[in-house]
Amino acid sequence: MHYPEWMFGLLIEDIKVAWQSVRTHLLRSILTVLIIAIGITALVGILTAVDALKNSIGEQFATLGANSFSIVAVNFAHKTLDGKRLKPQPPIKFREAAMFKELFEERAVVSVACRPTGIAIARYKDEETNPNITVFGTDENYLKTNGYELESGRNFSKRELESDMRIAVIGSEIKELLFQDRDKVVGEIISVNNLSYTVIGVLKEKGSSIGFSGDRNILIPLLSARQYFSYPGMAYTISVSVPSPELLNEVVNDAEGVFRGMRKDDLKSESSFLIRRSDSISEQLISNLSMVTLVAAMIAVITLFGAAIGLMNIMLVSVTERTREIGIRKAIGARITAIRNQFLTEAILICAIGGVSGIILGIAIGNVVSLAIGTSFFIPWLWIFLGIVLSLFVGITAGYYPARKASLLDPIESLRYE
């Protein structure tokens, strides 16, 4: 559609007049802009941080692949999807885990692991870690099924796993803490809770997710963990990686049936263990963030509602103060639409300034959180668009009534107004 050139000139003139009015009533304009900016900042900032957190969770679980799952024991902390707490079940025994691995090793890559302690202390010469090191007893398949890669050194061999050898694969953070700037650490001997272990490998950095670090782990042979770190009721975890995602559902169903038989679960009862798919865990965590998104939207709506009321009040005051000006403009031929558009443009301009300021601040705050959790700089195009739309909506909604009131003023009464 072709618009006459004079219409664009009129729009530019309205913007100039609106800007002049904003500068004339600078304090009131700044306060309104700040209210709108705070609302948009709350919306864009929180939603940007939530999106960054979602990306971080997705990236962390993507390292496990879309074709893996774990069989774990049900403990007091586990709940159903609707929040109901599950009844604790007996831990998975080593005999059950080993038998399952033997049955399924032709269909998938299966690993058996245990977590005997999460408060171990690692030492090397004069260097010592805090008591927050997690020790895992693992087999030869643990790295593959849990998404780890080696930075240097090698994995455990089957012969080493079957013998009582004190060897270890350490996380990158432990390497930094104990060996600092040294490049070669393979072959060095460290102490884990006063037991000596020879380092045979170092894991690549994996980063932290939702408060847990994959780089503060020490992996030792499963037999060594059972011999030196065992305690009554120690639970074992089974991790399974199938050849392709298309086979995942089939293998999960088969695994559940086989393991129910091993655990002698009654046909009418629930399974006495949990099957955790890597993709379902991330989806559940991400879905839990929807409440944060809802709260952010409510905060923004409430703040913007207050901003709309404040803007409408300022515009009504502006109409009252400029009544004589409106009368003069009407006396020299200004049409109703011209008066209305002038005041409406002023309201939209104030909201646009506040919206742009809020978007910039929101992106900055959201990306501070993004960088803090280890993800890259994130530009939330969807929330930027939403912020712009909301700003324009507030400007039009709050500015229309004052603008209409100004356009309907009687020119004779306006000229007589003092």
What is the arithmetic mean of pLDDT over 34-62?
73
For residue 187, what are the CA distances in angstroms to 135, 152, 199?
Answer: 19, 11, 5
- Final residue of a structural domain among 210, 239, 271: 271
| Residue located via tokens 């280890």 | 374
Q: Are 367 and 41 in contact (CB under 8 A)?
A: no
pTM, two decimals, is 0.57
Nearest-angstrom CA–CA distance, 263 and 252: 16
Helix (H, G, I), strand (E, B) or coil at 71: strand
Same domain, 143 and 260: yes
Question: 248 and 298 share a domain?
Answer: no
Give the domain-ending residue among 239, 271, 303. 271
Residue 195 buriedness (CB in 10 A; 0-12 / 13-18 / 19+): middle
Does residue 32 sit in the same domain as residue 112?
no
- Looking at the fold, whether 248 and 293 belong to one and the same domain comes out as no
Task: Identify whether residues 110 and 235 lie together within a single domain.
Answer: yes
Give the rounded percent of residues in the chain with a pLDDT score beyond 90: 18
Res. 57: pLDDT tops 70: no
d(CA 410, CA 418) in angstroms, rounded, equals: 14
Residue 2 has pLDDT above 60, yes or no: no
CB 206 within 8 Å of CB 151: no
pLDDT of residue 286: 60
Residue 87 pLDDT: 75
371: containing domain: 8-60+289-415
Task: Identify the pLDDT of residue 11.
Answer: 66
Task: Note whether 336 and 194 are same-domain residues.
Answer: no
Strands 195-203 and 189-192 turn out to be antiparallel
Q: Which two tokens stand for residue 376?
A: 């890259």
> 225, 245, 271 — which closes off a domain?
271
Give pLDDT, residue 210.
Answer: 46
Residue pair 123/190 in contact by the 8 Å Cβ criterion: yes
- The answer to whether residue 97 sits within a structural domain is yes
Q: Are residues 261 and 293 in the same domain?
A: no
**Both 115 and 211 in a single domain?**
yes
Question: Is residue 73, in this structure, part of any structural domain at all?
Answer: no
Q: How many domains does the chain have?
A: 2
- Burial of 376 from C-beta contacts in 10 A (0-12 / 13-18 / 19+): exposed
Opening angle at CA 105, ends 256 and 252, nearest 5: 25
Residues 323 and 402 in one domain: yes
- Domain presence at residue 319: yes
Instruction: Give the pLDDT score at 320.
Output: 79
Evaluate whether 92 touches 71 at the Cβ level (below 8 Å): yes
Statement to judge: residues 193 and 160 lie in one domain = yes
pLDDT at 203: 92
Is 340 part of any domain? yes
Find, among 75, 64, 93, 59, the residue nearest to 238 by Cα: 93
Whether residues 261 and 298 share a domain: the answer is: no
Asked whether residue 68 is domain-assigned, the answer is no
| Residue 74 within any structural domain of the chain | no
Confidence check: pLDDT of 182 > 70: yes
Tell me if 71 is assigned to some domain: no
Q: Specify whether 132 is located in the same domain as 232.
A: yes
pLDDT at 222 over 50: yes
Q: Answer whether residue 55 is part of any domain.
A: yes
